[in-house]
Amino acid sequence: DEFISSPPRKTVRFGGTLTDILLKYEKGETADFELLKHQLSDPDIKDAQIINWLHEFRTSVAYLTKELEQLVSILLKLPWLRRSREVVEEYLGFLGNLVSAQTVHLRPCLRMIVSQFVPPRITIREDDVDISDSDDDDENISENFNTCHRALQTVARYVPSTPQFLMPILVENFPFINKSERTLECYVHNLLRVTVYLPTLRLQILELIIEKLLKLDVSTPQQDIEDAEETANNSDSEEKSTEEGLFHMEEDEERKGDKVVSSSNERMAHPLAERLDILMTILFSYIKDVCHVDGKLDINNTKDLYRDLVSVFDKLILPTHASCHVQYFMFYICSFKLGLAEAFLDHLWKKLHDPNNPSVIRQTAGSYIGSFLARAKFIPVVTVKACLDLLVNWLHKYIDNQDTGANAYCDVALHGPFYSTCQAVFYTLIFRHKQLLDGNLRKGLSYLQSLNFERIVMCQLNPLKICIPSVVNLFAAITRKYQLVFCYTIIERNNRQFIPVVRSGTGGDLVQTCTNPLDSFFPFDPYMLKRSKKTIDPFYQFWEELSAEDLENLKKPIKKGTSEDEDDDFLKGETPQNDGVVGIAPNSYESTTRSPDSSIGSPPDCYVSYPQ
């Protein structure tokens, strides 16, 4: 009985020892070699067989030269991950022996490991059509990922040049953005895990991930996200309740492994926005984890990560027009410490005032400064004042240099950075004027008067003509209220001049109905992705609705008697009502106007009557 119940000590197989088979193959005898390949390719191969073969291969790696790459390829396809612990340990040992003895097989080994960074594919048959997708039900997926990272660390330990061979493989294996949310989520999560034990790759991996996120971001304009959400909200209630029931079954659970799970009402209606939301949540979690050790901010870790993120920001984010969400990784890391926010502002300032930078980069840097100062709750008034001083002094110097020159006229192509800086200053004042005046009104007014807005507004370059009308309207109303500068005469004059804006940079094209000649946008407009916005909202300054009294003051005409045609046609026809003052500005000259009610947390356009 004992004999019958005990397993065989060694699994029966054919063909002699591995060394004999390989030596025979070198002499041209291939029969045993083919049998070996067949046995290793058997889908029903047992754990004990795999262990025995791997044990022999570990002692025979010297024979596994480039000529035997077909055999190595079969070994790399062995289903080792979902086997017993003994198989996994033996396989990791084999990988270490193989790459240390035969570095020619390094790339195939790395490809095999990286291919396991996504859930296994399963094929479901629906209506006679094979639908392939990731297997979300694999309970061991988290453990399998851990094993993959152990394998990668083993290889890197034996071959120090692993990082330079690994990076191209990580790039080529990145899933397409139309792959399932789960596939993208797992791959990005695993890439970020690699940066922990291969720190030399961190910058390149962050670049890769943020580049892919950026493609998702620009493929999902804010208007499309809003439209999708509105359509979903207005859909048939019965259909909606059915969908919620389905999502509830799949997703209203605790976090499983590395999966980001949430209730159905947190899902984004737009499929690409849903993917972006999940990936941004992972990126924010990574930033937080790297910067905090045992719940406390680690200054050195944070500074190192900040440098990498600024580098990625310069290379990818700054040259990209009208991205909506990805840039918030800088907003988030700056919220950890005021010094980081000030360093970021200083970095943007250097970009803005350096004449050697392309004009479009300088203008975008101006947009970032204005939006960051307006929206970041963690930036105190003293920092806002320091930045305003810097920006306004630069504007006055610019006016000094231009007012008497041949180029002292209104032209975006010539003075783009100047207009961008004006808009940043106006925008910051709209959001921060109450804080600047808080406490000591006389002192606050004295400070604002010292900025000499009148000179900027009245100069020959005419910034009120170029800045977005909705920003100009509120700036004019606020500065009038505090008697800082009277803008309406200039606005009125600009409205009467139906001279089209000349853009000399494009061959003198005439743009008849251009309401956003700067083609500017506010990069830190309200964040719309439902899951990841929970990370941003605590640090974010939403637009505070104006009181009834304030609205009355702003809408109140200064002098009656102006005809309705003169007052309102320009604003009605041309003011971009996108999120009011602080929404995403139109990103092209043909942008359609949007309702100010379409975005929560942004000021409405204020239509003010002008004096004659």
- 70: tokens are 């077909």
Return the beta strands (E) in 473-564 as ranges: 501-503, 509-511
Most confident of 32-36, 123-127, 405-409: 32-36
User: What single string gives the DSSP state of each residue in 172-229?
Assistant: HTPPPTTS-HHHHHHHHHHHHHHHHH-GGGHHHHHHHHHHHHHHHHHTS-HHHHHHHH
Q: Who has greater pLDDT, 319 or 588?
A: 319
Q: Who has greater pLDDT, 259 or 268?
A: 268
Q: Who has greater pLDDT, 473 or 264?
A: 473
Considering only the C-alpha atoms of the chain, give the largest distance between any 2 of them, rounded to a whole number of Å.
112
Q: Who has greater pLDDT, 442 or 509?
A: 442
Q: Over 50: is that where the pLDDT of 511 sits?
A: no
Average pLDDT in the chain: 80
The average pLDDT across 348-371 equals: 94
pTM: 0.81
Residue with tokens 């079969």: 74
pLDDT category at 400 given cuts 50, 70, 90 is confident
Pair type for strands 501-503 and 509-511: antiparallel
The average pLDDT across 188-200 equals: 96
Residue with tokens 């010297």: 62
- 476: tokens are 């004019």
Q: Over 80: is that where the pLDDT of 219 sits?
A: yes
**Do residues 278 and 324 lie in contact, with contact meaning Cβ atoms separated by under 8 Å?**
no
**Do residues 376 and 335 lie in contact, with contact meaning Cβ atoms separated by under 8 Å?**
yes
Q: What is the pLDDT of residues 81-130, one digit of tens each?
A: 888 899 999 999 999 999 999 889 999 999 999 999 999 876 565 555 55
Q: Which of 192, 155, 142, 146 is nearest to 170 (CA)?
A: 192
Residue with tokens 């170029």: 466
Q: Over 80: is that where the pLDDT of 437 sits?
A: yes
Q: How far apart are CA 203 and CA 219, in angstroms?
A: 24
pLDDT at residue 439 in the model: 79
Cα dihedral 594, 600, 601, 603 sign: positive
The average pLDDT across 253-261 equals: 48
Which residues, at least 6 apart from 68, have a Cβ–Cβ distance to it below 8 Å?
Answer: 22
pLDDT at residue 586 in the model: 29
pLDDT at residue 124 in the model: 61
Q: How far apart are CA 542 and CA 264, in angstroms?
A: 26
Q: How far apart are CA 290 and CA 297, in angstroms?
A: 9
DSSP-assigned letter for residue 295: T
Angle at 94 between CA 92 and CA 95, to 5 degrees: 65
pLDDT at residue 534 in the model: 94
Which residues, at least 6 apart from 109, have a Cβ–Cβ distance to it below 8 Å?
Answer: 76, 95, 98, 99, 155
Q: Over 50: is that where the pLDDT of 557 sits?
A: no
pLDDT at residue 507 in the model: 52
CB atoms within 10 A of CB 572: 12
- 92: tokens are 């990791």
Pair type for strands 129-134 and 296-297: unpaired
The average pLDDT across 282-292 equals: 96
Q: Who has greater pLDDT, 273 or 27?
A: 273
Q: Over 60: is that where the pLDDT of 256 sits?
A: no
Q: How far apart are CA 556 and CA 546, in angstroms?
A: 14
pLDDT at residue 251 in the model: 40
Residues paired with residue 540 on neighbouring β-strands, in sequence order: 376
